[in-house]
Amino acid sequence: MVSAVFHSPLNVKVNLKVSTAAASLMAINAIKTEAACADSTRANGTNVHAKSTPTQQSTPRLPPQKPGYDWRELAMRVLPPLLGLGLLIGIWALVSIGTASSIPSPLETWKQALAVFADPFYRNGPNDQGVGWNVLMSLQRVALGFGLAAAVGIPAGFAIGRFEFLSRMFNPLISLLRPVSPLAWLPIGLLVFKGANPAAIWTIFICSIWPMIINTAVGVQRVPQDYMNVARVLNLSEWKILTKILFPSVLPYMLTGVRLAVGTAWLVIVAAEMLTGGVGIGFWVWDEWNNLNVKNIIIAIFVIGIVGLILEYALIKFASAFTFEEVKS
């Protein structure tokens, strides 16, 4: 059984009109809502822009601030040396008090140093000259002896490190002669060269040559084997191997040997000049001891230390200019 519902045409028309009117009202409301949102957005944007513009105009742009100085690093560089120097002066003062002024106090030595350095280059005779001339003469002897040691020791170190036969040949001799005291070499120099100045230069030479030989030879032996294999593959000559492979690799070791040799040479010259006499800082120390002038002896100790420190610092800067590694004292 089938049932059917029949609507009249009038009811259909009325329903269509009602639905159309409702849709129109909904569309009008949606348009009004969008328009209101757009107006509020524009108003907010205008207000924000109006508020931000005066701020940007009224506030000047500040220049970038430079990073502050690292005072902590400065303190770590300056304070420890000053504290160490203060400790030395304090111990020195206590020793002076404990020895009943046999050792002059720091203040007395300072006053004497002002008098000594007021005219360091005076000349009253061949054996009575200022401390400046004595230091310069000692530096001249050190330069000659050290230069000869470098001219012989560095090539010898390259040869000993490069060839195993030479290494086995000279290593026992180096181990035998290196510990010998400078004062033991000085009489040999006096006997051979018949003069005090050549004997002092000879002593510097023979004592400062060993650090350069040893460090250069060790540097050559530590060159990576891959470098040498590449040189064989490329069929490089011995001169090319020396200049292009060995020398750049050995340079840090060689400069370390040079630094050690300079320190040794400056130590040796003081001992040698005490025995040979003449003009020099070592002879000046011995002469002041003969005159029982302890103040000048202490001044000479500080002069020797300061000159050695300057030589060490200069060689550190020189080594840093030719190597990529950080060189430390």
Identify the structural domains of the chain with CATH numbers, from first to last. 86-114 (no CATH), 119-322 (1.10.3720.10)
Using the predicted structure, report yes or no on whether residue 79 has a pLDDT greater than 70: yes
The string of DSSP letters for 166-200 reads HHHHHHHHHHHHTT--HHHHHHHHHHHH-SHHHHH
Using the predicted structure, report yes or no on whether residue 323 has a pLDDT greater than 70: no
Please state the rounded mean pLDDT for residues 143-169: 91
| Euclidean distance between CA atoms 208 and 144, whole angstroms | 12
* Residue-level pLDDT at 5: 41
* Residue-level pLDDT at 136: 92
Using the predicted structure, report yes or no on whether residue 43 has a pLDDT greater than 50: no
The CA distances from residue 176 to 145, 152, 168, in Å, are 21, 18, 13
Kindly indicate the confidence band of residue 56, based on its pLDDT and cuts at 50, 70 and 90. very low
Exposed/middle/buried for 263, CB within 10 Å: 0-12, 13-18, 19+? middle
Please state the rounded mean pLDDT for residues 179-204: 89
CB atoms within 10 A of CB 159: 16
Least confident of 138-147, 219-228, 296-305, 314-323: 314-323
Kindly indicate the confidence band of residue 314, based on its pLDDT and cuts at 50, 70 and 90. confident
| Euclidean distance between CA atoms 174 and 153, whole angstroms | 12
Using the predicted structure, report yes or no on whether residue 322 has a pLDDT greater than 70: no
Place of tokens 């304070």: 79
205-227 residue pLDDT tens: 999 999 999 999 999 888 888 88
296 residue type, one letter: N
